[in-house]
């Protein structure tokens, strides 16, 4: 199941390792909404079973492999 546009946006913003609060500030949305969108994305990508500390990296990897979020630019890599 693909990501919603908002889930993709939040996961893309979080891919750099930013905290939930930093992503929320960047997107102008409450921290709780960021957390909820990421949790939903983890389920859609099938990584919600992973240990908590591994979910975000796994979700970013899977989403990039599937072309759901952009790969990092050379400047950001």
Give the model confidence (pLDDT) of 8-60 as tens digits.
Answer: 999 999 999 999 999 999 999 999 999 999 999 999 999 999 999 999 999 99
Residue 39 belongs to domain spanning: 5-65
Q: Is 14 exposed, middle or buried (0-12, 13-18, 19+ CB in 10 A)?
A: buried
How does residue 76 score in pLDDT terms, banded at 50, 70 and 90? low
Is a pLDDT exceeding 80 seen at residue 74? no
Whether residue 72 lies inside any domain: the answer is no
What are the b/e assignments for 42-63, b being 16+ CB within 10 Å? bebbebeeeeeeebbebbbebb
Provide the CATH number for the domain around residue 60: 1.10.10
2-16 confidence digits (pLDDT tens): 999 999 999 999 999
Judge whether 70 lies within some domain: no
């Amino acid at each position: 199941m693909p990501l919603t546009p908002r889930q993709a946006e939040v996961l893309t913003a979080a891919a750099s390792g930013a905290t939930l609060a930093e992503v929320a500030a960047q997107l102008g949305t409450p921290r709780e909404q960021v957390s909820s969108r990421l949790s939903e994305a983890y389920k859609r990508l099938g990584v919600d079973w992973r240990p908590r500390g591994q979910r975000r990296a796994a979700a970013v990897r899977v989403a990039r492999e599937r072309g759901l979020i952009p790969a990092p630019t050379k400047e950001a890599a």
